[in-house]
Amino acid sequence: MTQNFRTGSAFIAGGTVAGAGVSATVGGMGLAGGFGGVGIGGVPVIVVGAVAGAAGYGAFKAMVAGDSAAFSAMGIGAVGGAGISHAVGGMGLVAPKIGLAFGIGTAPMAAFGAVVGLAAYGIAKLLDESGSAETPVQVFDRMEEKVLQMEACSSGFMELEAFLSGEDVSQKFAALEVEDELQALRAELGKRNETNSSQFITPETSDSKINTEVVSLTTKLPETWKCVHTLTGHSAAVNAIAVSPQGNIFVSGSDDRTVNLWNLKTGKWLYTFAGQAAAVLSVTISPDGQLIASGSVDRKISSWHLDTKKFFRTFFYLNLPYSHISFVYSVAFSPDGKFVASGSADKTIRLWGCYTGELKRTLNGHSDAVLSVAISLDSKTLASGSADKTIKLWNLKTWKQLRILTGHLEAVNTVIISPDGQKLISGSTDTTIKLWNLHTGELLCTLTGHSTAVLSLALNPDGQTLASSSRDGIIKLWNLHTGELLQNLSGRSPVAFSPDGSTLVSGGNCGTIQIWRQMLGDHQSTFDSVLFGEWWEVLGVDKQDHPNNIKRAHRLLVRQYHPDVNSSATAKASMQAINQAYQKFRQKLNCPH
C-alpha cells in the first residue's frame, strides 16, 4: 500500500469521524420543501462526512499535482447541484433540538455539488494509487456499508463512555464474568471523579416583589438514583418518552421514524410501531392506556391501539393529507381523555377529538414554532411554550388566551404543569428553568445550573422532585420546594417519571434509553420485589432470544440484585431466582433437544 493511498484513506476516515461527531452533537434533523418533509438520521450525516473527507483529499491531490481535472469535476458537480435545486425548488434544513433552521438555495446546492464532484475526483485518484478495479460508485457503496458498521461500533463505545462516567462502577460482582473489566473501569473512573458545582436562584416570598438569592453548591451530591437498565432498540436519537398511567409500560419516539413499546420493569422491548415517514418528535399515551399518539417531522399525528398494536388513525387537517403544515413538535392527551393537543412549527396549537380525530379548534397567537404543550390535571388549562420566547396560557372551556408569560431570553423548549395544578415549570434554550404560579402568572423562582439548553422536564408525581435534561448530557434532579440540586445523572433528553415516582426514564447515547431507580437507605430500591416465573420471565427475555441477549439480560439483573449492591430484604431471594433461571438457560443451551 502506498503512502498516498494511506493519506487518502486517512482523509476519508477523518471526515467519517467528523460526521459521526456532528450527528451526535446536533441530533435529529429534517429537510423540508415543496416535496414535503423528511428526517435525516445519523447515517446520512456520517456519509456526508466521508464525502467531505474524500473531497479534502481531492483538493490536496489537485494542489500537489496541479491537475486541472479537479476543477472540471467541481464544475460538473456544481452544475448538477444547481440543476437539482431548480428541479426541487426551495428547501430548508432544520435541527429541532438545537434550534437551527436555514434555507438552502441554488448557491448552496451548487457548492455541495462541487464538493461531491471533488470527492469523485479524490476517489478516482485513490483508486489509481491502490490499483483497485472498483469504480467510484462501488467505492461509495462500500463506504456506506462501512459507515453502518462504524455507527454500531460507535454506539458501543458511547455506551462504554456512559459506563465510565459513573454507572454503578463502584459495585462489586464476585461471580460475574466481567470482574476483570470492572476493576479496570474502576481505576479509570477514579481519575475522572470531579466535584459537582451549580447554582440556583430562589425568591424570598414577598407581597410586592420577588427577591432572589444565589447559592453555590460545591459539595459532592449523594447518589440516590441508579441506572438499572440501558436499552438498545432504536437506531437513532430518542426524542420523546411517555410512561403509561398504569406504570407498567412506556413508549419512545426516535429519529429512526419508529415508536417502540417497552416493559418498564424489565426493560424488555415489546413492539415497534412503524409508519411515520420521518423523525418522531413527540409521543403520548391516553389516560385509559388504550391509545398512543405520535407527532412527527412528516407533519402528521399518528395513533395506534396499545392492546391490539393496530394502527388507529391519522389526524387530518381539513382535506389535507397531514395534521399541520409543518413539523409536529408536541402532542398531549387531555387528562379527561376527550381530546389531543398538538403544537407545531406552523405556530399553531390544534385540539382534536381523541377517538373521532375531528379538529375541534386551532389556537393562534404564537409568532414562532410551538415547541411544547401541557394540559392541567382538570383539563381546563393548556400551556404552550414557543420559540418566540413566550409561554401562553389558554382556557380550554372558552378557547381564549388567558395570559402571556415572559421572562425567558430564548426559546421555551418544554413546559409542564404540576399535579396539583398550582405551578407551571418551563425550560429554555437560555439554560434556565423557571417556576410560575399557574393562576396568576407570577414568577416564583429560577433554577440555574445547566450549561446548555434545557430540553426536557419531568415532575415526580409527589410534586417534590423535578428532573431536567440538557444538551450538555446531564440530567439534574432538584428539590422543587427549596431549589436544592439533589443529584446529577449522566443521561440525555427526554425524561419521564413513572406514576409511582420510583422510576425515571431518560434518553441515552446513540439511541439508547436508560431506566433509573431510586434507592432508599443503604442502596435499598423502592422498586424491589422477588422475581418469579419461568426462566425467561425471570430474566425478562423471550424464550427464543439470541443467547447473547439472554446473557446480557442476566448481567444487568445481577448488577441490580447482587447482595454487594442491593441490601434489601427481597434482593437475596431475587438473586437466587436469577441464578436458577440462568442455570436452566445454560442447560437448555447445552442440551437443545
Q: What is the pLDDT of residues 439-472, one digit of tens each?
A: 999 999 999 999 999 999 999 998 899 999 998 8
What CATH number is attached to the domain comprising 543?
Answer: 1.10.287.110
How many structural domains comprise the chain?
2
Rounded distance between C-alpha atoms, residue 145 and residue 138, angstroms: 11
Amino acid, single-letter form, for residue 288: D
Domain range for residue 559?
535-590
Run of H or E including 304: strand 301-305
Please give the distance of CA 380 from its chain centroid, rounded to a whole number. Answer: 30
49 lies in a domain?
yes
Nearest alpha carbon to residue 144 among 27, 10, 54: 54
Contact 61, 73 (CB under 8 A): no
Residue 52 is assigned to a structural domain of this protein: yes
Pick the last residue of a domain from 125, 141, 160: 160
Segments of the chain with pLDDT less than 70: 1-47, 49, 53-55, 57-58, 60-68, 70-75, 77-107, 109-110, 114, 118, 121-122, 124-223, 520-533, 537, 565-570, 591-593
55 within a domain of the structure (yes/no): yes
Whole-number pLDDT of residue 370: 97
Q: Is residue 322 part of a domain?
A: no
The residue from 119, 137, 160 where one domain ends is: 160
What pLDDT is stored for residue 46 in this prediction? 66
| Residue in 169, 225, 223, 159 with CA at minimum distance from that of residue 196 | 223
Contact 104, 114 (CB under 8 A): no
**Structural domain includes residue 323:** no
**Is 364 domain-assigned?**
no
pLDDT computed for residue 110 by the predictor? 67
Classify residue 45: in a domain, yes or no: yes
pLDDT on residue 64: 64
User: How would you write 330-363 as a 3-class SS string?
Assistant: EEEECCCCCEEEEEECCCCEEEEECCCCCEEEEE
Q: What is the model's pLDDT at position 578?
A: 84
Res 529: pLDDT: 45
268-273, Cβ contacts within 8 angstroms, sequence gap of 24 or more = 268/540, 268/541, 268/542, 269/231, 269/233, 271/309, 272/233, 273/304, 273/309, 273/311
Question: Is residue 365, in this structure, part of any structural domain at all?
Answer: no
Q: Shortest CA distance to 493 belongs to which of 433, 453, 460, 465?
A: 453
- Give the pLDDT score at 519: 76
| Domain's final residue, options 160, 179, 200 | 160
